[in-house]
Structures are given as structure tokens and as C-alpha cells.
Amino acid sequence: MSASSPFAIPASGQLILALSKGRIFDDTLPLLAAAGIVVTEDPETSRKLILATNDPNVRVIIVRASDVPTYVQYGAADFGVAGKDVLMEHGGEGLYQPIDLKIAACRMSVAVNAGFDYDSAVRQGARLRVATKFVQTAREHFAAKGVHVDLIKLYGSMELAPLVGLSDAIVDVVSTGNTLRANNLVEVETIMQISSRLIVNQAALKLKRERLQPILDAFERASSAIP
Ligand code: ATP
Ligand code: PRP
Ligand code: MG
């Protein structure tokens, strides 16, 4: 494979940034612009998974949101952007997390059917069925409260689970609350505030510091301007 192939493993002068399509990609673009980097292809219209930028030494790979930490941990990407929710589930092993970028802000919450008396169920020591994509976070949250739960792992559309009797409660991210309202669910507990962090491969931070540091500094300055 020639060194100029878009599929080559990153050489030492090359930087690979892992992003997910949608809100993380969209909200990272202004931060990249602050570092003078412009992505020249659109992941919504292109089927390409390796996107070029105006800097021949910087490329963006498009992966699932929950896979971003894995690509960075193994060094297939030098750095990436991932939500705190995703990082809590991944565990953060092998990752340096220098900057809270404050983008993709939301909260992780417990929600139930509007008619379900969550507080009484908890007081009475009921065993709750909880459907979620975030099993580690949910397990820790309910263990800390001393609530016994059966966790049901889902990969999306969590709001459906209580409506069809799959679970008593869900743990999911909430922003406007529109999805909960549209499905007649109510938020009964906030577990934590969520935003996205820059994550950096620990070896890349040492070996490519000269290339990475100006970008990290620009991200830091641009994100500190976000309220
Ligand atoms: P996938 O579609 O691959 O399952 P995903 O649904 O987690 O992944 P996104 O919806 O793009 O992917 O979410 C990326 C990150 O944005 C999440 O990890 C979370 O931190 C944050 N996020 C999720 N939903 C919202 C929301 N409604 N408002 C603001 N931020 C959100
Ligand atoms: C996320 C999340 C909730 C919704 C909350 O879904 O899983 O369903 O946002 O946001 P709200 O409080 O503003 O309604 P997303 O939009 O990412 O769709 P997805 O199911 O494709 O992940
Ligand atoms: Mg989503």
C-alpha cells in the first residue's frame, strides 16, 4: 500500500480525528474551524468513512458514537470527540480527556410512564425493570440508591420500553424533554449532566504532541467561549 493511500495506517506526521455523524460532527466543525481545519466532505451525503480536510495531514474518520473511544484507545485514531455518557460506559481506559468541549449538552435521567408512582415503588423496595443503553451508569446509579433493578440492555428507542410493558423505567439522555412528552413519560430523577469531551490517545499525545497541541489549544479556546 503506498504512503499516499487514504487507507494507510497514520504516519507519524498524520493526525486522525474520530467523530460520529450528526450532532457531534456538526458541533465539532466550529471547533475545527478555530484550529484552521475545514472538513472538505459531508458525511451526510458521502458514503466515505475517511474524510479529507484542507490540511493534508489531518483526516476525519466517521464511526458510531459509542465506538469513538475504542478507535482512540487502540490508536487507530489519534483523537476524537465522545459524550460523557459514552465515556462512562467505555470506562475511559487508555484515554487522555483534556477538554470538556461543552457541545452536545444534555442530561442522563430516569423516566417512567406518567401514571407510574416511582417514588412509592422505590420507598417500598420494589424490584424495578430498567431498560437502557447505559447499563454501567444505570447499575451504579441504582446500586448507590440501594434500589434493586433488573437491567434490560437496549440499543435505541428506549422511550418505547415502558409504553409496551418491557420495563418500569428507562435511563436515557434528555435535552428538550420533547421525546419524553411525546411518549407520555415523565422524568423522575437526573443522574448527571452530560456534554462531550475531547479524548486523545495517550501514546499519540507523547509522540505527536507538536502536531496535536495547537489543535488542542484552539479547541480549548473555542469551547471556553461556549456558555
Ligand atoms: P447511535 O445512533 O450510533 O446509537 P447515539 O444515538 O449515541 O449513537 P448521537 O445521537 O449522535 O449518537 O449522540 C451523540 C452524543 O450526543 C451522545 O453520546 C450524547 O452525549 C449526546 N446527545 C444525545 N442525544 C442528545 C440530545 N438530544 N441533545 C443533546 N445531546 C445529545
Ligand atoms: C436522543 C435521546 C432521546 C432524545 C432526547 O435521541 O436518545 O431519545 O435525543 O432529546 P429531547 O429531550 O430533546 O427529545 P436522538 O435524537 O439522538 O435519536 P436516536 O434515537 O437516533 O439516537
Ligand atoms: Mg442518539
pLDDT single digits (tens) 158-205: 999 999 999 999 999 999 999 999 999 999 999 999 999 999 999 999
| Domains of the chain: total | 2
- Do 198 and 101 share a domain, yes or no? yes
- Looking at the structure, tell me whether residues 92 and 45 fall in a common domain: yes
Q: Tell me how far the alpha carbon of residue 188 lies from the centroid of ligand 3, in angstroms.
A: 21
Angle 118-182-165 (CA atoms, 0-180°, nearest 5)?
50
Prediction pTM value: 0.94
Ligand with the closest atom to the CA of 170 = 2
Residues 6+ apart with CB under 8 A from 54: 36, 37, 38, 40
CATH of the domain at 148: 3.40.190.10
Please give the ipTM for the structure prediction: 0.98
* Residue at 38 is within a domain: yes
- 85 & 114 share domain: no
What atom of ligand 1 comes closest to residue 83's alpha carbon?
20
Task: Tell me the best of 173, 175, 178, 195 to mutate to test the pocket of ligand 1, counting ligand atoms within 8 Å of each CB and taking the most.
Answer: 173
Q: Is the CB of 153 under 6 A from ligand 1?
A: no
Same domain for 79 and 23: yes
- Angle at 213 (CA atoms; ends 209, 218), nearest 5 degrees: 165
Instruction: Establish if 2 belongs to a structural domain.
Output: no
Q: For 195-215, how does the pLDDT look when each residue is reduced to its tens digit (9 = 90+)?
A: 999 999 999 999 999 999 999
**Predicted confidence (pLDDT) per residue in 40-95, tens digit:** 999 999 999 999 999 999 999 999 999 999 999 999 999 999 999 999 999 988 89
Point out the ligand nearest to the CA of residue 62. Answer: 1
At residue 80, the 3 state secondary structure works out as strand
How much distance in Å is there from the Cα of 141 to the middle of ligand 2?
A: 21
Pocket of ligand 2 (CB under 6 A): 156, 159, 172-179
- Examine residue 4 and state whether it is found in any structural domain, yes or no: no
Based on the fold, state whether residues 174 and 99 are members of the same structural domain. Answer: no
Q: Which is the closest atom of ligand 1 to the Cα of 86?
A: 18
In a domain, 209, yes or no: yes
Q: For residue 172, is it within any domain?
A: yes
Tell me whether residue 5 is in a domain: no
Query: Are 101 and 200 in the same domain?
Result: yes
> By residue range, what is the domain housing residue 170?
106-193
Point out which residues pair with 83 in neighbouring strands: 196
Contact status, residue 73 vs residue 94, Cβ threshold 8 Å: yes
* Shared-domain flag, residues 100 and 201: yes
Helices 23-34 and 209-224 meet at what angle, rounded to 10? Answer: 110
Residues 183 and 162 both lie in one domain: yes
Shared domain for 84 and 127, answered yes or no, is no
Query: Does the beta carbon of 104 lie inside 6 Å of ligand 1?
Result: yes
